[in-house]
Amino acid sequence: MDKARIQEWVGKVKVTKTVRVGEQKPSGGEGVITGVPLSVTMRELVVNLRVCNSAVKDVGRMTRGVEKTETETLVVEFESNEVPKELDFRFVRYNVREFVLKPR
């Protein structure tokens, strides 16, 4: 492990940064909410979620399959590492679960 940190070149490629496996990224926490209708645009989602919760940084809709079909599940990124238990959108309260990346 120490050799990997010291090494500056791997073949003809310069090592710019090393990341340990399983290391968390430095940005804020991410949560998942389900059941948000497909008719809602991403712009509308981001604007309305930020009004209710100022900690919302970004929102993305999850996709399924090779065709990248959009689903009713959203990944919400927050400014802090704290993920709230609930988010309000269009007079509906959605439970937020912590986002865990699928292992490959």
Select the more confidently predicted residue: 80 or 10. 80
52 vs 9: which has the higher pLDDT: 52
Q: What pLDDT is recorded for position 24? A: 54
* pLDDT tens per residue across span 32-91: 999 999 998 888 888 888 887 778 888 889 999 888 899 999 999 888 888 889 888 888
Looking at residue 102, its pLDDT comes to 73
CB-count burial class (<10 Å; 0-12, 13-18, 19+) for 18: exposed
pLDDT at res. 23: 55
Give me the CATH code for the 26-97 domain, please.
3.30.70.330
Decide: residue 60, CB within 10 A, 0-12 exposed, 13-18 middle, 19+ buried: middle
Band of the pLDDT at 12, cuts 50, 70, 90? confident
The answer for residues whose C-beta is within 8 angstroms of residue 76's C-beta and 6 or more apart is: 30, 31, 32, 33, 49, 56, 58, 59, 87, 96
